[in-house]
Structure 1
Amino acid sequence: MIDAIKRAAIEAVDAAGPVQVQLGIVEKINPLEVLVDNRLSLSEDFLILPETLAEFKLAIGSNEYEIRKPLAAGDKLLLIRMQGGQRYVIMDRVVSN
């Protein structure tokens, strides 16, 4: 009986598509497209981009300073697949493997 309950619990979690951390690479910028695990291409409809990865420039007098650079093709990303597997949150850029 206990084994049956354990199996049912494991199957329920697997069916729900639990949260998962994955790596991706920016393929295109406009519109945003990210390749996940070298097999799944995600359009911007499936991606949640945080403000911390958006371009931000600061103008001081006649000078403009880039505080945060925008995403670029080839950038490696750390993504979290939300429960259910339909949307991905881009957490940050990855600077090493």
Structure 2
Amino acid sequence: MSNTQQFIGALKQINKGVMDNSQNVAFYYGKVIAITPLEIQVDQRFVLDQDFLVVTSTVAGDTALAVGDKVILLREQGGQRYIVLDKVVTI
């Protein structure tokens, strides 16, 4: 096998590893379990604290979150941060 073919093979392996380990954007439901500091339990599997959360203006200020509120979250690609999009309400 030539050096070029070995190099191309190595690049393919690296690319496959990167693609297998990447986490795509996804939506999750969560429940606010604490306000100060903000903590949200996601699908009864894990708890996110304020270091992993980005809050939008729709859930801040006059419409601030309260303990017990259900929210919809958007996980950024890579899974390092979650954006709190809005409260989930029942009609």
With the length of structure 1 as denominator, give the TM-score of the two structures.
0.71
Question: How much is the aligned-residue C-alpha RMSD, in angstroms?
Answer: 2.1
Q: Look up the match of 1:78.
A: 72
Task: Give the structure with the higher percent strand.
Answer: 1
**Bigger Rg, which one:** 2
Q: Look up the match of 1:46.
A: 52
Q: Look up the match of 1:35.
A: 41
Identical-pair percentage: 42
With the length of structure 2 as denominator, give the TM-score of the two structures.
0.76
Task: Give the structure with the higher percent helix.
Answer: 2
Aligned partners of 1:88, 1:38: CA distance in 2, in Å?
16
**Which residues of structure 2 form unaligned runs of 5+?**
1-11
How many equivalent residue pairs?
Answer: 78
Alpha-carbon offset, residue 52 of structure 1: 1.6
**Which residues of structure 1 form unaligned runs of 5+?**
57-68
